[in-house]
Amino acid sequence: MTSSSSIRKPFSRLRSATPVSPVVLTMLTIIFVFCTDNTTFWSIAADIFTGHPLSLAGYMSALFFLTLSAFSFLAFPWIVKPFLGFIVFLSSVTSYFMDSLGVIIDRDMIQNAAVTTFTESKHLITLGFVTHVVVFGILPAIVLLSVKIKSQGRLKTFGVPVLTILLSLSLFAGLLMADLKSYASILRERKDFMSSFQPGAPLVGAIRYVKLMSRTANVTVAPVGQDAKKGASYVMGGKPVLTIVVAGETARAQNFSLNGYGVDTNPKLAMLPIINFSDVSSCGTATAVSLPCMFSKYGRDDFSYEKGVSNENLVDVLGYAGLHAEWWDNNTGDRVFRIALCRGHLRTRRTTSFVLSANVWTEYSFRLSRNMHRRLQQIPF
């Protein structure tokens, strides 16, 4: 008890002796995040601005003032610490995935994170991740939350953030205009540069995701293929037809030995009488983009999430034709996409044929699981 009190007293005296204003605390937090959570960003910057230190300093200063102007909208005593604590924690999480795994936290990645489950994502929670978040996120956030905010009059409380916003925007514009041609060229040619900036990239991605969801919240779904009918082979009778579509959309074509990759990554597939389409590209690298596109009427160049959710797809066409369709998967994060893809035709069991799609089937285990095999045997023909 005495030991605990002896630790708290110096800390309390230090806290009382060094109160800071909300704007100063915001500036210090931005500097901390700039220095600790942007390894990839600084690495790319060093490559871009090699031999041009003044341009680098000007750009970074402009970015600092832009960030300060945005954060100053919340630089008020009653909200600044929770907000900055969230920023520090968020930056520690996103910087780990950016710096360790090279994952860009954009709108599509945030969309994936929003619909995934713990079962699918738990393998990402490693000792390295936890250590990084504790050291660069949780502990700094605790320190930040313990800082005492300097008491100010009402005029300063509201006036200082407003002046900070105006001054920061002016400095941002001035610094940017000093070498606008070069900076514009960099931003146009090096998309990876600002995509690696923390916390700017995930915040912008989150805003874009919210806007996307709001635009598609109450869409009217356009019908597709309502005149679809079974072909002659179904009319002829005989044995029921079973079609299995395995959508392994996470595999990378460049790592397929079937496409010329140096390592034999497809030994089982190579033994099968398959047709390999080597000149095919996915609509995106994220499930949220690639999987709906695979079943839509649009190609890679024309597809968008908005078009995907506002138009029926292949499974609907099968339903109109009178085919019974089911969607099975071993990727729990597909739940939302499964519902969006299938619009209710998935749940309408009208005849004897169905489509099976099992997501995330790798080239190393191209076979039906025992559980799926048992379910296949239970289908009434």
Annotated domain spans of the chain? 2-215, 232-377
Would you state the pLDDT for residue 30? 96
Confidence bin at 363 (pLDDT 50/70/90): very low
25-69: pLDDT as tens digits: 999 999 999 999 999 999 999 999 999 999 999 999 999 999 999
Sign of the Cα pseudo-torsion (216, 221, 224, 228, in order): positive
| Cα 246 from Cα 217, distance rounded (Å) | 29
Would you state the pLDDT for residue 378? 54
Confidence bin at 5 (pLDDT 50/70/90): low
Token representation of residue 182:
């070069």
Would you state the pLDDT for residue 293? 85
Mean pLDDT throughout 292-308?
Answer: 85
**In the 8-state DSSP scheme, what is residue 261?**
-
The answer to whether 265 touches 364, Cβ cutoff 8 Å, is yes
Q: What percent of the chain has pLDDT over 90?
A: 40
Is the pLDDT score of 352 beyond 50? no
- β partners of residue 355: 243
**Predicted model pTM:** 0.75
155-192: pLDDT as tens digits: 888 999 999 999 999 999 999 999 899 999 999 999 89
Would you state the pLDDT for residue 58? 94
Q: Report DSSP letters for 238-250, one per residue.
A: SSPP-EE----TT
Helix, strand, coil % (nearest 5) of the chain? 60, 0, 35
Token representation of residue 48:
């871009």
Residues whose CB is less than 8 angstroms from the CB of residue 374 and which lie 6 or more positions away in sequence, other chains included: none
Please identify, in words, the CATH class of the domain defined by 232-377. alpha beta
The answer to whether 305 touches 336, Cβ cutoff 8 Å, is no
Higher pLDDT, 140 or 285: 140
109-120: pLDDT as tens digits: 888 787 777 777
Higher pLDDT, 368 or 247: 247
What integer best gives the mean pLDDT of the chain? 81
215-246: pLDDT as tens digits: 887 888 888 888 888 887 776 767 777 788 77
Token representation of residue 91:
């930056």
Would you state the pLDDT for residue 93? 95
| Cα 89 from Cα 290, distance rounded (Å) | 30
Mean pLDDT throughout 263-277?
Answer: 89
| Cα 244 from Cα 325, distance rounded (Å) | 10
Would you state the pLDDT for residue 263? 92
